[in-house]
Amino acid sequence: MTEYTDANSYPFSSVSPVTLIYKNPYSSRITGIFENIELSGKRSKNLVLKLKNIDQVDHNVDVKLILPNELSSDITEKIINVESKEEKDVVFKISNFASLEGSSYVVLALIEYEDNYHYSSLASGMIGIVENKGMNVPKWIPISILIIVVIIFIILQVKSKIRFEFKRKKKK
């Protein structure tokens, strides 16, 4: 993880993968691909990691989510059983903790399992922080609507009373 600040001294962080091969390089038979997402405001959203087991045997896979400091997750580690030739979704609930609109963040997942040797692979994805698209309605619109509804209600009440009086006078 790299931590830095912008010109306004606002802190940022970034994660980047580093691989280390010890003795013999063994290729993992489990791969992962993230579905990129966009977050707005403080709302949470599901970040989906698609795991694929291209091996002939099942594997118990340890998935560790690696996030920059500005994002948070309900859980950062899951152990998943992925059967032979199976694709499985791993879902993490992600929320904006301290990121700024317009920023993009790399997220990583470390995918590991043991089978006589230690195997690992990395998956990376992007999370974009977008403008909160809540109800950006000018304040005068709801007030105007309320006033119009009240005026209509008063007009209907007055009309109803006039009709009632008119019918009463006709009966006399």
| CATH code of the domain containing 17 | 2.60.40.10
Given this model, what pLDDT does residue 20 score?
A: 79
Given this model, what pLDDT does residue 171 score?
A: 67
Has residue 1 got a pLDDT over 70?
yes
**Please, what is the average pLDDT of the chain?**
89
Query: Does residue 125 sit in the same domain as residue 77?
Result: yes
Query: Does residue 91 sit in the same domain as residue 6?
Result: yes
Helix (H, G, I), strand (E, B) or coil at 127: strand
Distance (Å, whole) CA 142 – CA 147:
9
Query: Does residue 118 sit in the same domain as residue 89?
Result: yes
Query: Does residue 61 sit in the same domain as residue 85?
Result: yes
Query: Does residue 7 sit in the same domain as residue 85?
Result: yes
Distance (Å, whole) CA 55 – CA 61:
13
Query: Does residue 120 sit in the same domain as residue 70?
Result: yes
Query: Does residue 90 sit in the same domain as residue 148?
Result: no
- Domain membership of residue 155 as a residue range: 137-172
Q: How many degrees, rounded to 5, is the angle at CA 140 between CA 134 and CA 144?
A: 115
112-150 confidence digits (pLDDT tens):
999 888 999 999 999 999 987 655 667 788 889 999 999
How many domains, in total, are found in the chain? 2
Query: Does residue 123 sit in the same domain as residue 146?
Result: no
Query: Does residue 25 sit in the same domain as residue 89?
Result: yes
Query: Does residue 87 sit in the same domain as residue 17?
Result: yes
